[in-house]
Amino acid sequence: MPVPADAIADWPGWRLMHAIAARFVDWAVCSEGSSRSSALIRIGLAMLFWSRWAGELLLYMDQSPVGLFLAVNFFVATVLLFVGYHSRVAAVWTGAVGLTMYYYFGFQLGREPWTHHHAYLLAVAALLIALTPCGRSYSLDRYLSVMRAERTGVAPPAERGNLWGLRLIVLQLSVLYFFSAFDKSSYAFLSGARIEAIFLWYYAGSDYPAGLAWLATIVSVAVVALEYCLAFGLPFAATRRYLLLPGLAFHAIIYLTLPVYTFSATMVLLYLAYFDADAVDKVIARLQGIGLKEEIS
């Protein structure tokens, strides 16, 4: 007669759960791959930080000691992130600057719109990219390591690493989409009322346009449905192929119609984390003609 522990282990549901958990652990922290997609995100984040804040942080803008301290930290950290010198440290530094701007300057000192979603997302993305091998490609770190390898007569280090930081970015995006949809899953939003109010605020003023009601209702239901689909569908390759374009179009529309600052661009950049890093590497190789040469030869 089997002991209880064996009986549980033989239960088909338990084996299925065990297999799912094993796949999750593999996916989350055991997968290694090309560092190029992480590097592209690193470079893109540095550019988004500049796009969002560089103008506001020029040295003459706030000449107080704390303002100058923030500006110097911002520019040094983001330049290091962009060129990829001590890339992961630079990513932590940049993320810390972003969170300081969000929490201290935004919430404590009341500087707006530094408390908005786009600011938090940028800061968190910088911190998460620090958990990837983002400095092993397209970076000064890479250049220096190749030079070092040539001097010592060894092969240059592989452009690979553990991708758990990219997995956390995927999780962050899914959490964002899910809770954004969850918050909208109410009569107030699904009836179209909140979309109508947003439209009146930015476009129509206090004159309600004819025909807005049904359009707002359709858009509201579509937005909530799409956000739930993006939350659960984008992480999986089988559903991602159908959701990628709607997701990109969704962010493009938001960017064009509402003042979301860098939010849409950050989301689109972070979509790179959904793709298999080695597949991204192959696409880059093909674009550079490397794969083509190998196929011909």
Partner 1 sequence: MADIVSVRIGAESAGRVSAGRLRFFAFMAIAAFMIAGPAAEQVFGVRTALLRSWTMFSAIGMGVIDASFEIRRPDGALVPLDRFEMLGAPRDGRLKRIESRDELASVIKRLCTAAGQGADIRVRARQATRGGWQIIHTDAENACAG
For partner 1, the binding residues (CB under 8 A) are 18, 21-22, 25-26, 28-30, 103, 107, 115, 117, 120, 162, 164, 167-168, 171-172, 175-176, 179-180, 182-183, 187-188, 191, 193-194, 196-202, 205-208, 258
Comparing CB distances to partner 1, the nearer of 29 and 292 is 29
CB of 164 vs partner 1, minimal distance in Å: 6
- For partner 1, which is the closer residue by CB, 112 or 294? 112
Count how many Cα atoms sit within 13 Å of the Cα of residue 112 in the half-sphere of its side chain. 2
DSSP 135-152: TSSSSHHHHHHHHHHHHH
Q: If residue 192 lies in a helix (H) or strand (E), which one and from where to where?
A: none
Least CB distance to partner 1 at residue 219 (A): 12
CB 121 within 8 A of CB 128: no
Structure tokens at 47: 């550019």
Q: Which is nearer to partner 1, 193 or 229 (CB)?
A: 193
Minimal distance in Å, beta carbon 175 to partner 1? 5
Supply the minimum distance, in Å, between the C-beta of residue 80 and partner 1: 23
Q: How far is the CB of 121 from partner 1 (least distance, A)?
A: 8
Residue with tokens 């930290």: 73
Nearer to partner 1, 20 or 61 (CB): 20
In the complex, minimum distance from the CB of residue 144 to partner 1, in angstroms, rounded to a whole number = 24
Q: Half-sphere exposure of 13 toward its Cβ, with a 13 Å CA cutoff?
A: 1
Minimum distance, C-beta of residue 23 to partner 1, in the bound complex (Å)? 9
56 DSSP 8-state letter = G
Distance in Å, CB of 91 to partner 1, minimum: 15
Q: Which is nearer to partner 1, 2 or 205 (CB)?
A: 205
Q: Which amino acid is at 254?
A: I
Residue 260: alpha-carbon gap to chain centroid: 15
Burial of 237 (0-12, 13-18, 19+ CB in 10 A): exposed
Query: 116 — phi, psi (to 5°)?
Result: -80, 170
CA torsion sign for 197, 202, 204, 207 is positive
Please say which residue, 142 or 251, places its beta carbon nearer to partner 1: 251
First to last CA, the chain: 63
Residue with Cβ nearer partner 1 (147 or 198): 198
Give helix then strand counts, H and E, for the chain: 15, 2
Which residues are bridge partners to 144 per DSSP?
none
Residue among 254 and 285 whose Cβ is closer to partner 1: 254
